[in-house]
């Protein structure tokens, strides 16, 4: 058999490469070559530098400006100016203390952070008198603490607590072993609001929130 006829017969034998197979292989090699060369078209799942830059900008804006962090904040009601800010966690407790304006005795209000609001747990004081809780209010219970002080069990949720900075009340906020005299934040007679607010990383920086 002449050589050219033998090659033709070999290609037609079962198991030999078919013309369709050769065309498919050549097409795949051509595609691989084009995508490997500079200036070749991008694949559908390829990402350009501009795409990565835009995605980074979106992620950065979310990180900076989305209100993720709950903070305890004191603001001046009239102006809305933030006077004090600190990050807090759910279940964290703090104390707002002052000298009662009538019987001139100290009062300690124990308050807990509950998500997006506050829960007034109890008020502690050492003697009864005019203007002091006596347990007659609905939902309030009066008892003695282990140290002999009176405790008015309140358990009242509130969105915020408003009060005037007293001239002789000596309002103070005690949190994590730190005492903040509120007269150092605002002039006596200023109406303040104490509440929970969620802020972003940028808000933490802008409000100068302390840890």
pLDDT digit string (tens) for the chain, length 211 residues: 555 554 455 444 555 555 444 544 554 454 444 444 455 454 545 567 776 666 666 555 555 655 568 899 999 999 999 899 999 999 999 999 999 878 888 999 999 999 889 999 999 998 877 767 766 676 788 888 888 899 999 999 999 999 999 888 999 999 999 999 999 999 999 999 999 998 776 666 666 677 6
Vertex 93, ends 204 and 137: CA angle to 5°? Answer: 125
Which backbone phi and psi does 33 adopt, to 5 degrees?
Answer: -65, -45
Contact 109, 120 (CB under 8 A): yes
**Cα–Cα distance, 73 to 90 (Å, whole number):** 15
| Closest residue by Cα to residue 116 from 186, 175, 67 | 67
Give the predicted TM-score (pTM) of the model.
0.65
What stretches of 39-137 show up as alpha helix (H) in DSSP? Answer: 49-65
Give me the long-range contacts of 91-94 (CB less than 8 A, separation at least 24): 93/121, 94/173, 94/174, 94/175, 94/176
Q: Which residue has the tokens 């972003």?
A: 200
């Amino acid at each position: 058999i002449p050589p050219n006829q033998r090659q033709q017969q070999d290609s037609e034998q079962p198991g030999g490469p078919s013309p369709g197979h050769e065309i498919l292989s050549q097409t795949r090699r051509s595609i691989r070559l084009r995508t490997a060369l500079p200036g070749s078209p991008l694949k559908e799942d390829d990402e350009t530098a501009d795409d990565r830059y835009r995605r980074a900008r979106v992620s950065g804006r979310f990180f900076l400006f989305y209100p993720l962090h709950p903070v305890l904040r004191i603001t001046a009601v009239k102006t809305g100016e933030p006077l004090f800010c600190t990050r807090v966690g759910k279940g964290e407790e703090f104390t707002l203390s002052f000298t009662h304006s009538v019987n001139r005795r100290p009062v300690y209000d124990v308050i807990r952070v509950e998500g997006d609001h506050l829960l007034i747990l109890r008020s502690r004081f050492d003697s009864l008198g005019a203007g002091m809780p006596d347990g007659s209010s609905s939902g309030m219970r009066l008892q003695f603490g282990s140290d002999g002080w009176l405790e008015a069990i309140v358990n009242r949720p509130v969105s915020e607590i408003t009060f005037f900075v007293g001239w002789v009340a000596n309002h103070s906020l005690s949190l994590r072993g730190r005492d903040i005299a509120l007269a150092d934040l605002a002039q006596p007679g200023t109406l303040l609001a104490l509440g929970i607010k969620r802020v972003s990383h940028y808000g933490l920086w802008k409000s100068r929130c302390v840890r």
